[in-house]
Structure 1
Amino acid sequence: MEEDRRTAPRMRTLKAGTILFNRAGGIDCCVRNLSPRGACLEVASQVGIPAEFVLLIERDRFRQPCQVIWRNATRLGVEFRT
């Protein structure tokens, strides 16, 4: 079992989000958990998602630059940048 190295606990959530990059629109995602420092995002496919992007949760008026920390087939963990 992997060690959890998060510096802030994440709260489980289920929110619609958008991964924004290149001014060409965005990729829909589901925000699975969220903390002040990062999030776990679920996507249909990792194809075309860059290492850095902006996460938008329109309902919460949340917009935050992110850097991908880890990836698997349908999920990615991101750290928020300031």
Structure 2
Amino acid sequence: MTENELRGKRRQRVLKGAAILTGINNSGVMCTVRNMHPGGAELKLPIEAYVPDEFLLYVTKDRIGYKAIVRWRRDDRIGVEFAGTEPKPHWHYG
């Protein structure tokens, strides 16, 4: 099966700035949302960045925080599944 067949939904190509908020020391990793659909997204991030298996993805333009679960990792990209939304934490500047 190809990755597209496993995904089950076609993602819309986008280019949005976002932050991966881990809650570890109130830290965030800046990333770019490359494509997304209501159930998930593909993110591009610095290759050296530490990203846990679950985190809050805050998409600045949308002003939405997505509860994200990592489904795959490849070099400087990760694929995530959305498991709902929640407000942006008060400590995040964006």
> Would you say same fold, with TM above 0.5?
yes
Note the alpha carbon deviations across 1:31-52, whole angstroms, 9 max, x for none. Answer: 0001000000000125421000
Q: How far is the alpha carbon of 1:7 from its aligned partner?
A: 2.3
Aligned to 1:49: 51
Contact 2:29 2:49 (8 Å CA) reproduced: no
Note the alpha carbon deviations across 1:18-74, whole angstroms, 9 max, x for none. Answer: 000125220000000010000000001254210000110112112110100000110
Report which of the two structures shows the higher radius of gyration computed on alpha carbons: 2
Gaps of 5+ in 1: none
Look up the equivalent residue of 2:75 and give its one-letter code.
A
Aligned to 2:27: 25
Cα distance in structure 2, aligned partners of 1:39 and 1:14:
11
Cα distance in structure 2, aligned partners of 1:38 and 1:3:
13
TM-score normalised to the size of structure 1?
A: 0.89
Aligned to 1:9: 10
Cα distance in structure 2, aligned partners of 1:34 and 1:49:
18
Greater helix percent: which structure?
2
* Cα-Cα RMSD: 1.6
